[in-house]
Amino acid sequence: MAIGEVPGPRTRAIPFSVLDLSPIPAGLTAADALRNSLDLARQAERLGYCRYWLAEHHNMPGIASAATAVVIAHVAGGTKTIRVGSGGIMLPNHAPLVIAEQFGTLASLFPGRIDLGLGRAPGTDGLTARALRRDLMANADNFPNDVIELKGYFQPVQPGQKVRAVPGAGLEVPIWILGSSLYGAQLAAILGLPYAFASHFAPDALEQAIQVYRERFEPSDQLERPYVMAACNVIAAPSEAEARFHFTSQQQAFVNLRRGMPGPFPRPVEDLESVTTPIERESLRRTLKYAYVGTPEQVRQGLKDFMHLTGADELMVGAPIYDHAARVRTLEIVAGLRQELAAAA
């Protein structure tokens, strides 16, 4: 049996989970965003979602989850049963021992509920990466060794071991590899770890990465068989027009980032064309290929197609919406659709 609540045999009613970047809406504060994240996690728990992940980003005025382990503690402390974790910790920014201690502490505070998803990207720009004291020439290349080192800190202490994670040693905190290319797929397969693909913003290599991961997977003490989580964005509303309206917030956020002008999470607009160029809209179409936006029936069909395409063992849903009540409503709609999709399988 794999650790970390990763099921073995595939079931029809596959788990649905939630990805939250703790967006800071324009006109509000990071404190507001963190309160919203806790409330959304509580709603996700009520609705039967499997896990709730937060992501590490730095120098991003629209994202409040930079101190990811701290935010995980905030969310886990305000919920009771849902798994809480990182989607992910950008390991090149940190010493493996520090992350082992942080997540060992979280696992001690919230036994059986903490996930550690690891990414190779810095989660920021080059200048900020230097401010994080990263060795830009070496750390990303050291990622596989850093993952192995980190994994070792969660094993029982060995005779003569000089450096240990306290807390952390012996806790077997489940590790995931995150990725948007074949690199992460190959590493997850070699190490026998579960793999989460970032198709919610980097869709191009989705099918090939999943294939490579499954074909090359080697069983480990954590996982007996390959386990794939695929991510998508969902914005659901009673009407397609309302859903499309809410979607313009995420679209503007991506455009602002590409323009080198990241800011608070934008308010939605009635006319996206008035604030973007044709080239930008084409880029959005490619980047947000796996965003399912519309009525419950439209979203149901989109999720059905996505599940068929990926054969994923678990879906992770992002709901990047400016209005918090609309985010909650989207999670409610998706939770209902999960039951419909299971019944139709």
The predicted-structure confidence for 217-228, as pLDDT tens digits, reads as follows 999 999 999 999
Residue numbers of the domain that contains 302: 232-311+321-345
How high is the pLDDT of residue 138?
56
Asked whether residue 33 falls in the same domain as residue 153, the answer is: yes
Do 166 and 236 share a structural domain?
no
Cα 291 from Cα 303, distance rounded (Å)? 9
Separation between Cα atoms, residue 201 and residue 14, nearest integer Å: 22
**Domain shared by 71 and 149, yes or no:** yes
Same domain, 129 and 18: yes
Query: 160 and 236: one domain?
Result: no
Mean pLDDT of 264-268: 98
Scan for tokens 């209005």, then name that residue: 323
47 and 131 inside one domain: yes
Q: Residue 172: is its pLDDT beyond 90?
A: no
Nearest partner of 6 among 217, 184, 209, 212, judged by Cα: 217
Sign of the four-CA dihedral 213, 214, 216, 221: positive
Within-domain flag for 6: no
Quote the distance between the C-alpha of residue 34 and its chain's center.
16
Report the greatest alpha carbon distance in the chain.
66
Domain-ending residue, one of 173, 190, 219: 173
Q: Is residue 218 part of a domain?
A: no
Please indicate, yes or no, whether residues 145 and 263 belong to a single structural domain of this protein: no
- Quick check: is 178 in a domain? no
Among 173, 193, 216, the domain-final residue is 173
Helices (H) and strands (E) in the chain, counts: 11, 9
164 lies in the same domain as 256: no
User: Are 92 and 240 contained in the same domain?
Assistant: no
Same domain, residue pair 19 and 157: yes
pLDDT at position 179 over 70: yes
Give dist(CA 40, CA 235) in Å, integer. 15
Q: At 95, is the secondary structure helix, strand, or coil?
A: coil
The number of folded domains in the chain is 2
Query: Position of tokens 């985010």?
Result: 327
Phi, psi of 223 (to 5 degrees): -145, 130
Query: Can you name the residues that pair with 177 across neighbouring β-strands?
Result: 118, 195
pLDDT at residue 237 is higher than 90: yes
The whole-angstrom separation of Cα 312 and Cα 316 is 10
Mean pLDDT, rounded, of the chain: 92
pTM of the model: 0.92
* 155 in the same domain as 52: yes
Number of Cβ within a 10 Å radius of residue 110: 18
Give the C-alpha separation, 295 to 243, whole Å: 7
Please tell me the predicted confidence (pLDDT) of residue 11. 42
Tokens found for residue 99: 């992350």
Contact predicate 12/342, CB 8 Å: yes
Q: Is residue 193 part of a domain?
A: no
165-173 average pLDDT score: 94
- 3-class DSSP state for residue 154? coil
